Amino acid sequence: MKPLDHLEHLDKHLVDELAQVARETVRDELREQTRKQRRKAALYAASGALALYAGAALALAVGLALALGLPDWAAALITAVILGALAYVLRGMARPHRPGPEHAAGMAPGGDGARQTAAGAVGGAPYPPVPPAPAGGTAAPGPVPPRPTRAPDVPHRGV
C-alpha cells in the first residue's frame, strides 16, 4: 500500500462535501432571488389591475359628463371613439419606427453617428452604425473591373 492511498479517500470526500455546500448555497440564493421577483411581479400585477379599473372609471366619467348634454348613445359612442384613438396612438408609440434616410446614411437624427453606441442609441437600431467608407480611408481590396461602355444585352459587332 502506498503512503498516499488513504488521502485519496479524504480528497474525494472533501470534494463531495464542498460540492454539496456549493449546491445548497446556490439553491438558497436562487430561492431568495425568486422570492423577491415573485413579490415584485405581484406588485406589478396589482398596479396593472388598479390602473385598468382607474381607466374604466375615467372612461365612465367622460361618458357621464358627455351624457349631460347629449343623448346617452352619442355620449357612449364619443367615449368609445376617444378610447379607440388613444389606443391607436399608444400602439403607434410602442411599435419600432422604420429607419429613415438618416439611418441609411449611418447618421442618427440630431447627432454624430460615430459617437452613438448600441446602448446609447434611443429609438435607433440595436447595433452601432456602419461607417460609409472603409476604416483608414483605404480603397476597397482587390482590383475593380472597368465599367463596360456598351450595354451588355445589346449585340454588337467586333470593333
The three-state DSSP-derived secondary structure of 69-122 is CCCHHHHHHHHHHHHHHHHHHHHHHHCCCCCCHHHHCCCCCCCCCCCCCCCCCC
Cβ(75)–Cβ(66) below 8 Å: yes
Work out the mean pLDDT of the chain and round it to a whole number: 75
> How do residues 18-67 score in pLDDT, each as one tens digit?
889 999 999 999 998 898 888 888 888 988 899 989 989 999 998 999 89
Residue 66: alpha-carbon gap to chain centroid: 40
pLDDT value at position 11? 77
Q: What's the pTM value of the predicted model, to 2 decimals?
A: 0.40
- Look up residue 111 and give its three cell numbers: 447627432
pLDDT value at position 116? 47
Query: Angle at Cα 37 formed by Cα 51 and Cα 21, nearest 5°?
Result: 175
| 113: pLDDT strictly greater than 80 | no
> Packing angle between helix 5-67 and helix 72-94, nearest 10 degrees?
150
pLDDT value at position 87? 85
Query: Angle at Cα 50 formed by Cα 96 and Cα 87, nearest 5°?
Result: 35
In this prediction, residue 6 has a pLDDT band, given cuts at 50, 70 and 90, of low
Torsions phi, psi of 25, nearest 5? -65, -45
- Look up residue 68 and give its three cell numbers: 349631460
